[in-house]
């Protein structure tokens, strides 16, 4: 099946974003197992979550694929492009980990997922913000556990 082979750059993009997608799905699985049982079947939760995760990952992948069309920032045609692509993937992974970690702390603190109005309340309501920050160790969250 020689005609199905992808260029090295596209395989690298697919592999990285599949790893990110897998970690997002594993997070959802553990979240469902920790907080289950729900009125909605677990299969429906996982399927809808997978579709939402695919949407989030595809946005970042399309941005990267579009940027790699330029020779100067293509990951395999220039050294600067390789550095930019590694930095991009690290930033995307960190951003998604930050969002998903904040979501988990939000569930722990307020008993619900992050939604627009309740998230904005963190910036307008001092008590909610204090309660939220009291449930997360910011130092360990950003730098990892030293032990």
Instruction: Note the pLDDT of residue 142.
Output: 62
pTM over 0.75: no
pLDDT tens for 1-46 read 455 566 666 777 778 788 888 888 888 887 777 766 667 677 887 8
CA distance 38 to 127: 29
Cis peptide leading into residue 52 (ω within 30°): no
């Amino acid at each position: 099946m020689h005609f199905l082979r992808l260029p090295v750059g596209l395989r690298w993009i697919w592999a990285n974003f599949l790893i990110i997608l897998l970690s997002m799905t594993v997070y959802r699985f553990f979240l469902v197992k920790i907080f289950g049982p729900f009125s909605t079947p677990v299969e429906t939760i996982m399927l809808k979550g997978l579709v939402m995760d695919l949407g989030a990952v595809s946005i970042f992948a399309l941005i990267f694929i579009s940027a790699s069309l330029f020779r100067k920032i293509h990951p395999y045609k220039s050294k600067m492009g390789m550095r930019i692509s590694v930095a991009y993937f690290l930033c995307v992974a960190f951003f998604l980990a930050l969002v998903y970690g904040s979501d988990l702390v939000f569930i722990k603190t307020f008993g619900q997922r992050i939604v627009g109005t309740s998230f904005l309340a963190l910036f307008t309501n001092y008590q909610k913000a204090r309660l939220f920050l009291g449930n997360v160790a910011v130092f360990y969250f950003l730098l990892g556990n030293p032990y």
